[in-house]
Amino acid sequence: MKKSIVCFGDSNTWGYIPGSNCERYAPDARWPGVTATALGDDGYRVIEEAQNGRMTAWDDPCEPFINKCGATHLPVVLESQKPIDLVILMLGTNDLKNHMNHNADAIAEGMGALVEIVLASDAGPVKAAPKVLVVSPVPVAEGKCPFGRLFDHAGPVSRDLADAYREIAENLGVAFLDAGAHATCPDTDCIHIDDSGHAALGAAMAKKVIEILG
């Protein structure tokens, strides 16, 4: 039976093309698609579950029409996709918006809440909990922001997320990957990775999946 991997993320999992008007990379160019190709079809099934603007465990007061809280959506995804062998959690960029006023530790706590939701679930094989891979997002770049002033003060905090996420992952006994070690944002967009970033991150994810699941 194929091992199921759920990629739970935001626009950088959805495949938002940097500097575009919400255009999307093709499925095989997005990092989950790259990961799926690298792993092969025989032993793995990679499932994208991505939403533009999704946060970790917070509601966005400036998004009144569509809920963006990862902690609200994650239990539904776990229920609908089970049995799941591995949940990859890559969120936190949208928590950096100016009006949220979060520091790195607060955002890491939000990620920790998502990990705890997965570990407390019965969404894995034989009603056990799935394994978890925590991924710290790519740091906010100095390039042009396509969303006005939303991320004006996010750069320094974003660069602290990898250490904060690593600590949370270690404390909760789950795996960790730093996306910023494999991808960056181009000058055309301060928060979205380009096709080369998706390719590099997808390859790194595949290696990590094999390390976790065999």
CA torsion through residues 137, 140, 145, 151, sign: positive
* Contact present, 89 and 48 (Cβ < 8 Å): no
Number of domains composing the chain: 1
Which residues, listed in sequence order, are joined to residue 46 by a DSSP beta bridge?
5
Q: Would you tell me how many other CB atoms lie within 10 Å of the CB of residue 129?
A: 17
Is the pLDDT score of 146 beyond 80? no
What is d(CA 36, CA 33) in angstroms, rounded to the nearest whole number? 5
Range of the domain at 58: 3-213
Is the pLDDT score of 124 beyond 80? yes
What is d(CA 47, CA 50) in angstroms, rounded to the nearest whole number? 10
Give 157's contacts (C-beta < 8 A, 6+ positions apart): 96, 102, 103, 104, 107
What is d(CA 67, CA 197) in angstroms, rounded to the nearest whole number? 28
Average pLDDT of the chain is 96
Is the pLDDT score of 134 beyond 90? yes
Instruction: Name which of 184, 212, 188, 204 is nearest 12 in CA terms.
Output: 184
Assign 56 a pLDDT band (cuts: 50, 70, 90).
very high
pLDDT at 136: 98
Instruction: Name which of 185, 191, 192, 150 is nearest 60 in CA terms.
Output: 150
CATH number, domain containing residue 37? 3.40.50.1110
**Which tens digits make up the pLDDT trace of 66-101?**
999 999 999 999 999 999 999 999 999 999 999 999
